[in-house]
Amino acid sequence: MTIIKATPSDVAPIPAGCAGPTVPEDKGYLVEEIRGGVYWVSDGVFQAMFLTTGDGVIACDAPPTIGRNYLNAISDVTDEPVTHVIYSHSHSDHIGAAHLFPESVTYVASAETARTLARVDDARRPVPAVTFSDSFRLNVGRQTLLLEDKGPDHEPGNIYIYAPEQKILMKIDVICPGWVPFKDLSHVKDMPGYLKAHDDVLTYDFDVLVAGHVARLGAREDVEVQREYVMDLKAHATEAIETVDISRVFEESGVADPSRPGAGNPWLLFDVYLQTVADQCTQAMLPKWVERLGGADVFTFDHALVVTVQVVARVS
Ligand SMILES: [Zn+2]
């Protein structure tokens, strides 16, 4: 068995579609108006979004890698104070700088995210005072945001943040514009919900997606391309499960040899089997995807393994 994983010496070139605007080195962050008072802030790896309303700023997420530069970015474009902070989800890599805002701000999140944050009790991520179960319309000044929780995907409570007037959607840690998802399908918590999220994203009338990671904003086409990638993964993993002969894998790999110390270890047997299936899936994926999405040769095997385990366990 050969596991296909890129190393620094043989990694494929980064496709042109991965590139984004240059982050000014002296500042360490980029802030740009997308349209209609909606801005995005990026350090080249993480992204957040904020809106000027005439009555205060609504900040959506607060990644700690951007940290205080988020406040600098806001004050670059407006004198309005931040009045509201919306959490996309509970993960600290996206909201771990939320404590940097004035105490007077109103924190808003899904009820699910609020429950998670109450449990983790992290002073960097204040527990939101305003929560909702399904949907919530936030009107501040001249701006309106529609917040919706459509069920678990990347994690339970990961919401859609939609600016209907500007046709801008923020959905974090599901789509990676230009790239395959981060390792293990971006640490997916709910595979069926994660796959469904690709369809749910496309039900919104938007043409700009703030996806939370990598160098550029997303478009509808990025969602369609990644949906095709994850559907290919599932199809090839299913096909590999149907065609890989488990007893032959045990025989050829020698893991079932009774004279070996590990003989009879079911976890080892299954690990070798799952990796063989994931390897076959990866080999079927790469010719189509390695030049189309960045990092396909880095993370496709990890994604294939996650999908294989899910399909074998009949989760997806
Ligand atoms: Zn996350």
What is the topology classification, in CATH, of domain 20-215?
Metallo-beta-lactamase; Chain A (3.60.15)
Which pLDDT score, from 0 to 100, does residue 1 have?
54
Alpha-carbon 67 to chain mean position: 19
| Residue whose entry in the numeric block shows the structure tokens 């600098």 | 72
CA-CA distance, 7 to 105, in Å (whole number)? 45
Give first-to-last CA distance, the chain, whole Å: 26
pLDDT at 25: 93
**From the CA of 93, how far away is ligand 1's center (Å)?**
7
C-alpha 159 to ligand 1 mean position (Å): 11
Distance CA 218, CA 220 (A): 7
Q: Which residue has the tokens 């449990």?
A: 119
Taking the centre of ligand 1 as the mean of its atom positions, its distance from the CA of residue 90, in whole angstroms, is 7
Give the Å distance between the CA of 91 and the centre of ligand 1.
5
Of 273, 35, 266, the closest CA to residue 169 belongs to 35
Give the model's pLDDT for residue 316: 60
Give the pLDDT of residue 258.
84
**How many Cα atoms are found within 13 Å in the side-chain-facing hemisphere of 37?**
20
Span from the CA of 188 to the centroid of ligand 1 (angstroms): 9
Exposure string (b/e) for 145-179, b if CB count within 10 Å is 16 or more?
bbbbbbebbbbbbbbbbbbeebbbbbbbbbbbbbb
Token pair 């890698």 is found at 65
Distance, CA of 197 to CA of 212 (rounded, Å)? 15
Q: Which residues contact 37 (CB under 8 A, 6 or more apart)?
A: 51, 52, 53, 142, 143, 166
Closest C-alpha among 211, 237, 225 to residue 180: 225
- Alpha carbon separation from 2 to 60, 128, 201, 256 (Å, rounded): 43, 48, 36, 19
CA 94 to centroid of ligand 1, rounded, Å: 7
List strand residue ranges (DSSP E) for the chain, in order: 30-35, 38-42, 47-52, 57-60, 82-86, 106-110, 130-132, 135-140, 143-148, 160-163, 168-170, 208-210
Say what the pLDDT of residue 256 is: 78
In the reported structure, the alpha carbon of residue 29 is separated from the centroid of ligand 1 by a whole-number distance in angstroms of: 21
**Residue 1: CB atoms within 10 Å:** 11
Tokens 């095997």 sit on residue: 301
Query: Hey, where are the domains in the chain?
Result: 20-215, 230-312
Residue stretches of the chain with pLDDT short of 70: 1-3, 315-316
Rg (CA), the chain: 22
State the pTM of this model.
0.94
For the stretch 196-243, pLDDT in tens is 999 999 999 999 999 999 999 999 999 999 999 999 999 999 999 999
Give phi and psi for 173, each to the nearest 5.
65, 25
| 3-state secondary structure at position 130 | strand
Q: Output the CA 134–ligand 1 centroid distance in Å.
A: 19
Q: How far apart are the CA of 41 and the centre of ligand 1, in A?
A: 17
- Going 81 to 115 to 95 to 109, the CA torsion angle's sign is negative
Residue 53's nearest CA partner among 33, 31, 83 is 83
